[in-house]
């Protein structure tokens, strides 16, 4: 008896209409997946999730969305549907965006310049439980490890310092951290100086990279 092919449902959040059509056509040409829905902005996606029980097997998410940052959308999705697999498909190779996306629960990060076969392989990989990274993204991450190297010793962070570092990894600025923690920006600066000293770093990017590599947040 021949096993029946399982068809996986893929949803896309992408504001570029032409690119979205290309990806939908690519996915629909495969026997084991279908593009059930395409949303041009975050509001359309969340309206769909609110008014139906239908859920995708994987969400392809662009970061350059209108009116709302894709990283914020990713964070909200992780809260609403923590088990949903999200694969970033973006034109941006900004290091901070890549780190934030992975830290916020993305299962992979592909560039829009990726070959069609790479995109399909990435989708299948994430659905099967692995991750997917475009070669330039993987190279960037490896170079980050090589540049900063392992931290030999880290003095324990206080609870408040861990909170500040966690907000920093999420991409929040000092004023937002201060408001979230109900403290002054001066106090945030004080905590950050202590965090930088304990992590042996000198910048926000280095602090975020170290926090991710060491599993501090």
- Domain ranges in the chain? 8-145, 151-214
Q: Which residues pair with 37 in a beta bridge?
A: 11
Q: What is the mean pLDDT of residues 131-154?
A: 70
In whole angstroms, give the CA distance from residue 187 to residue 72. 26
Q: What is the mean pLDDT of residues 41-53?
A: 94
For residue 116, pLDDT over 80 is answered with: yes
Separation of CA 127 from chain center: 16
Separation of CA 44 from chain center: 20
Of 94 and 26, the structure prediction assigns the larger pLDDT to 26
Phi/psi for 81 (5° steps) reads: -135, 75
Torsion sign over Cα 88, 91, 92, 93:
positive
For residue 44, pLDDT over 90 is answered with: yes
The rounded percent of the chain whose pLDDT value lies above 70 is: 90
Q: What is the mean pLDDT of residues 37-52?
A: 94
Q: Using 50, 70 and 90 to split pLDDT, how confident is the model at 42? A: very high
Q: Using 50, 70 and 90 to split pLDDT, how confident is the model at 25? A: very high
For residue 10, pLDDT over 90 is answered with: yes
Helices (H), the chain: 17-28, 42-51, 70-80, 95-103, 116-127, 135-148, 159-169, 174-181, 185-199, 204-214
Token pair recorded at residue 71: 């990283």
Global pTM reads 0.67
Contact status, residue 66 vs residue 41, Cβ threshold 8 Å: yes
Q: How many CB atoms lie within 10 A of CB 69?
A: 15
- Provide the 8-state DSSP code for 5: P
For residue 151, pLDDT over 50 is answered with: no
Q: What is the mean pLDDT of residues 121-133?
A: 89
In whole angstroms, give the CA distance from residue 117 to residue 201. 39
Note the CATH number of domain 151-214. Answer: 1.10.10.10
> Per-residue pLDDT tens for 188-197?
989 999 998 8
Token pair recorded at residue 101: 């996306």
Residue 153's pLDDT is what? 60
Q: Which CATH number fits domain 8-145: 3.20.20.70, 3.40.50.150, 3.40.50.2300, 3.40.228.10?
A: 3.40.50.2300
């Amino acid at each position: 008896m021949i096993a029946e092919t399982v068809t996986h449902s893929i949803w896309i959040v992408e504001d570029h209409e032409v690119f979205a059509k290309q990806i939908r056509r690519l996915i629909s040409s495969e026997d084991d997946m279908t593009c059930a829905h395409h949303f041009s902005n975050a509001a359309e996606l969340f309206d769909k999730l609110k008014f139906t029980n239908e859920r995708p097997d994987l969400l392809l998410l662009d970061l350059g969305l209108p009116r709302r940052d894709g990283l914020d959308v990713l964070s909200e999705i992780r809260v609403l549907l923590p088990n949903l697999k999200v694969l970033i498909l973006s034109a941006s190779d900004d290091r901070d965006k890549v780190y934030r996306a992975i830290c916020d629960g993305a299962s992979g990060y592909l560039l829009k310049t990726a070959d069609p076969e790479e995109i399909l392989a990435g989708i299948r990989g994430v659905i099967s439980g692995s991750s997917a990274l475009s070669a330039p993204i993987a190279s960037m991450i490896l170079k980050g490890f090589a540049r900063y190297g392992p931290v030999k010793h880290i003095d324990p962070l206080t609870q408040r310092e861990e909170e500040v570092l966690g907000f920093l990894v999420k991409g929040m600025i000092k004023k937002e951290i201060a408001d979230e923690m109900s403290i002054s920006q001066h106090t945030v600066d004080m905590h950050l100086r202590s965090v930088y000293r304990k992590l042996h770093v000198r910048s926000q990017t280095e602090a975020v990279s170290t926090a991710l590599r060491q599993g501090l947040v």
